[in-house]
Amino acid sequence: MKGCLIILLNYLYYKDIELLFGKDSIVDVLSVKYCTTKKSYMVDCKLYLSDIKLFEESQITSLDYVIEECWKYTGFDGERLIIQSSYDLLENYSSS
Protein backbone atom coordinates (compact mmCIF):
# COMPACT_ATOMS: atom_id res chain seq x y z
CA MET A 1 0.00 0.00 0.00
CA LYS A 2 2.83 2.39 0.90
CA GLY A 3 4.62 1.76 -2.39
CA CYS A 4 1.40 2.18 -4.33
CA LEU A 5 0.78 5.61 -2.82
CA ILE A 6 4.38 6.71 -3.40
CA ILE A 7 4.12 5.81 -7.09
CA LEU A 8 0.70 7.43 -7.48
CA LEU A 9 1.78 10.65 -5.77
CA ASN A 10 5.20 11.08 -7.33
CA TYR A 11 4.58 9.72 -10.84
CA LEU A 12 0.88 9.92 -11.66
CA TYR A 13 0.15 13.17 -9.80
CA TYR A 14 3.60 14.73 -10.20
CA LYS A 15 2.20 17.66 -12.24
CA ASP A 16 -0.24 18.53 -9.45
CA ILE A 17 2.51 18.32 -6.84
CA GLU A 18 4.76 20.45 -9.04
CA LEU A 19 2.07 23.12 -9.53
CA LEU A 20 1.19 23.26 -5.84
CA PHE A 21 4.64 23.04 -4.23
CA GLY A 22 7.29 23.75 -6.87
CA LYS A 23 9.47 21.87 -9.33
CA ASP A 24 11.02 18.61 -8.06
CA SER A 25 8.86 18.52 -4.91
CA ILE A 26 8.46 15.00 -3.50
CA VAL A 27 5.96 13.27 -1.22
CA ASP A 28 7.37 10.51 0.96
CA VAL A 29 4.80 8.12 2.46
CA LEU A 30 6.21 7.08 5.83
CA SER A 31 3.52 4.56 6.76
CA VAL A 32 0.02 3.32 6.01
CA LYS A 33 -1.66 1.64 8.97
CA TYR A 34 -5.15 0.50 9.87
CA CYS A 35 -6.41 2.19 13.02
CA THR A 36 -8.77 -0.23 14.78
CA THR A 37 -10.18 2.31 17.23
CA LYS A 38 -11.24 4.73 14.46
CA LYS A 39 -11.92 1.93 11.94
CA SER A 40 -10.02 3.78 9.25
CA TYR A 41 -6.65 3.86 7.52
CA MET A 42 -4.03 6.34 8.65
CA VAL A 43 -1.51 7.66 6.12
CA ASP A 44 1.59 9.35 7.51
CA CYS A 45 3.44 11.32 4.86
CA LYS A 46 6.02 14.07 4.50
CA LEU A 47 6.15 16.67 1.76
CA TYR A 48 9.55 17.90 0.61
CA LEU A 49 8.83 21.17 -1.17
CA SER A 50 11.06 23.33 -3.31
CA ASP A 51 9.11 26.61 -3.54
CA ILE A 52 8.04 28.16 -0.25
CA LYS A 53 6.05 30.90 -2.03
CA LEU A 54 3.78 28.35 -3.73
CA PHE A 55 3.39 26.51 -0.43
CA GLU A 56 2.26 29.69 1.31
CA GLU A 57 -0.60 29.90 -1.18
CA SER A 58 -1.65 26.26 -1.26
CA GLN A 59 -0.82 25.13 2.31
CA ILE A 60 -0.70 21.52 3.53
CA THR A 61 -4.44 20.95 2.92
CA SER A 62 -3.69 20.79 -0.82
CA LEU A 63 -1.50 17.78 -0.15
CA ASP A 64 -4.37 16.15 1.74
CA TYR A 65 -6.60 16.62 -1.30
CA VAL A 66 -4.04 15.02 -3.65
CA ILE A 67 -3.61 12.08 -1.26
CA GLU A 68 -7.39 11.59 -1.14
CA GLU A 69 -7.46 11.56 -4.95
CA CYS A 70 -4.68 8.93 -5.03
CA TRP A 71 -6.51 6.86 -2.41
CA LYS A 72 -9.30 6.26 -4.93
CA TYR A 73 -6.89 4.19 -7.06
CA THR A 74 -5.76 1.89 -4.25
CA GLY A 75 -8.93 -0.22 -4.14
CA PHE A 76 -9.79 0.96 -0.62
CA ASP A 77 -11.92 3.88 -1.80
CA GLY A 78 -14.84 3.05 0.49
CA GLU A 79 -12.64 3.05 3.59
CA ARG A 80 -12.24 6.14 5.77
CA LEU A 81 -8.89 7.88 5.61
CA ILE A 82 -6.96 9.89 8.20
CA ILE A 83 -4.03 11.88 6.83
CA GLN A 84 -1.16 12.94 9.04
CA SER A 85 1.16 15.15 7.02
CA SER A 86 4.21 17.28 7.61
CA TYR A 87 6.55 19.24 5.37
CA ASP A 88 10.19 20.22 4.98
CA LEU A 89 12.39 21.87 2.38
CA LEU A 90 13.65 19.68 -0.45
CA GLU A 91 17.30 20.26 0.48
CA ASN A 92 16.68 18.25 3.68
CA TYR A 93 15.34 15.21 1.78
CA SER A 94 16.75 11.73 2.34
CA SER A 95 14.89 8.72 0.93
CA SER A 96 13.56 6.13 3.37
The reported pTM is 0.85
Quote the number of domains for the chain: 1
Residue 27 lies in a domain: yes
- Domain extent, residue 87, equals 2-91
CATH classification of the domain holding 63: 3.30.300
What does the angle CA 31 – CA 91 – CA 42 come to, to the nearest 5 degrees? 15
Tell me: the pLDDT tens digits for 1-23? 899 999 999 999 999 999 999 89
Strands 81-89 and 40-49: parallel
Nearest to 93 by CA among 58, 47, 55: 47
CB-based burial, 12-39: b 16+ in 10 Å, e otherwise: ebeebbeebbbeebbbbbeebeeeeeee
Residue 86 lies in a domain: yes
Residue 96 lies in a domain: no
Rounded to the nearest angstrom, the gap between the alpha carbon of residue 32 and the centroid of all alpha carbons in its chain is 11
Residue 28 lies in a domain: yes
Q: How confident is the model at residue 77 (pLDDT cuts 50, 70, 90)?
A: confident
